Amino acid sequence: MKTKNIFIFFIAALFLVSMPFTLTALERSEIPDKYKWHPDHIYPSLEEWEKDFEYLGEQIDVLAAFKGRFAGENATDPAGALIEFQEIGEILEQKLERLWVYVMFNYHVDMGNSDWAGMQQRIQMLAIGFSQKLAWAEPELLEIPQETMNRYVAENPELVDYQKSFDDMYLQQEHVLSEAEESVIAASYNITGTSRDVFGKLTDVDMSFGEIKDEDSETIEVTDSGWNSWRVDKNRRIREDYFKKLWNGYEGFGNTLAALMNGNIKKNVYFSTVRKYDNTLQAALDGSFIPEDVYVNLIETTRANLAPLHKYNEIRKRLLGVDHYRHWDYYVSLVEADETRYTWEEGVDMIVNALKPLGKQYRKDIKMALNPENGWCDAFANENKRGGAYSSSCYGVHPYMLYNFDYTKGLTLEDVSTIAHEVGHAMHTYYSENTQPFPNKSYATFNAEVASTVNEAIMATKLLADARKAYKKAKKANKEAAKQRLIYLLETNINAVRTTFYRQTMFATWEWEANKMGEAGQPLTKDSMSKLYYDTLTEFHGPAAEYEELSSISWARIPHFYRGYYVYTYATSYAAAVALATDINGKKKGAVKKYIAYLQSGSSKHPVELLQDAGVDMATPAPVEALVAYFSNMVEELDELTR
């Protein structure tokens, strides 16, 4: 059983792939039941949940009673005790996972429900108790010499599945503290998540941004989630008004949000210090065995290759015909957007057809996962629902996917891509949990975004290739329509790289620098963090993009900063995914087989090694440079088509 940081795992890692926004929504009762997920697949009733909650509270003491049986004078049969400890611990860990996820799924579709919020606090306290009462375990296990532990595993088949966990434990031995120190750290989890929790409540529930007028003088309520829709509106005055109203809302809470971010970064510094790491970056990456060089390489290689992004902003400025290319011009389409809307079922069919290169079994599995009758998905937005989209699971039950689409209007092409993204996560979980033993079933966040983005990349590449062929073949009157379709899809793919790779790397740059300020004891105020963000923003986007001072508060809107060095995984994963998708689409020998093996791999090896096995080495600049070249080629094609 893995005891280190168990509380952090359950609070932070169960929904690894969230995105922050949702739409203005219907009441939940207005959404057909078949498009709602079924937490009752985890527990059929609250009574059953309560039984497991009570059972777990009692059994923690059973595990705690193993203290002294692994090492020391009372350790008469350490191997036998270890086998029993792992067997009981595995059962309890699975139940703890189920307890947490069941509450989370019910709470996230109705975040105004104080009952679910209260239950979330109960399970949170139980997880803290779990960590506190088992704080002795890892220090005591480390009293066993590694050679002796290896002998226990060799002589006892029941321990074989834990070999990698034991090996990893010894690799991180210098960062495991004494029993008393580990107990103090476990107790601190009750307070170190406060900044994240308050940020969520403040931005999801309490903050209000006012209203603006549309072109017909009708009132538009300004919400954070609504920015996704209005930032692409063709009316520039509306985009500007919406932006200023929303960003001024964050500016108005700037000092409060700065205090929360300051607390968040101080938490990072605290954990890195007490666990004897050199810095917060090392502390964040070491638990997943990611070399710091991977992060540094991403930042440095990207910053050295910003020219294609700068050129794209110049093209946007030219095609939009504006003298000043501003923050509210960043997302609006250069051509008429594809206004086609799809039903859920039509979107699923598009995905299944596009992912043909991944083989029959994979397509069969995603079709099962996305069938609304099977209860894996919560598809449409409703009032008080958690924003964005994510995939999550608990062992022994199928994965779940949360989305926030507009039930009244139907799905856009971007929505369909989001489904492809999240079902990629679900398949990664489904395959790993059905292939790996429990100790190795979870995958690192570094690997998480690859599976989702491969799906998106394969689908996008097919659409773009089809559009190029259609444009080449089109005659006379149809030529211009085919050209506009190609430009639209080029822009879509370019923007995918811009937002998922360049933007997330920009976020990762800001986060790294802000944490370094915290490590150095420099002030983390609204002004200092905003200046850092403004400097980073203007560096990445170049001279064609003119940002106003208000843009500098943008750091305050990013929930992922409360996850601790998470955003970089979007960028590294995108680079890896495009490389894998290129091989798969190109029918490179063995590419599909290696990729499916990757989906089945869980944490059977360290994250960078798993990607190397799949065919991509993120420890080198090569994948990032290849992605930049891929982006640059599309920018050049767009420039040529629009001249």
Q: What would the DSSP string read from start to end of 186-213? A: HHHHHHHTHHHHHHHHIIIII----EEE
Residue 59: both structure tokens together: 């059994």
DSSP tag of 554:
G
CA angle 58, 59, 62 (to 5 degrees): 115
> Does 433 participate in catalysis according to the annotation?
no
Give start and end residues of each alpha helix (H) in 202-291: 227-230, 236-252, 254-274, 280-286
Euclidean distance between CA atoms 582 and 623, whole angstroms: 12
Burial (CB count within 10 angstroms: exposed 0-12, middle 13-18, buried 19+), residue 333:
middle
- Hey, what amino acid is at 231? R
- Point out the catalytic residue in the list 251, 422, 433, 449: 422
Q: Contact 467/489 with Cβ under 8 angstroms?
A: yes
Strand-strand pairing, 219-221 and 211-213: antiparallel
- Hey, what amino acid is at 104? M
Euclidean distance between CA atoms 441 and 358, whole angstroms: 22
- Contacts for 27 with CB less than 8 Å, ≥ 6 apart: 382, 383
Coil vs helix vs strand at 77: coil
φ/ψ of residue 43, rounded to 5: -135, 130
Strand-strand pairing, 400-405 and 390-392: antiparallel
Helix/strand number for the chain, H first, E second: 26, 5
Coil vs helix vs strand at 409: coil
φ/ψ of residue 68, rounded to 5: 90, -5
Euclidean distance between CA atoms 22 and 229, whole angstroms: 10
Euclidean distance between CA atoms 100 and 127, whole angstroms: 9
Q: Contact 536/606 with Cβ under 8 angstroms?
A: no
Q: Which of 40, 201, 187 is nearest to 120 (CA)?
A: 201
Euclidean distance between CA atoms 614 and 608, whole angstroms: 10
E-assigned strand segments in 556-639: none
Radius of gyration of the chain (CA): 25
Q: Contact 29/383 with Cβ under 8 angstroms?
A: no
> Residue for token digits 């309890």?
92
Active site residues: 422
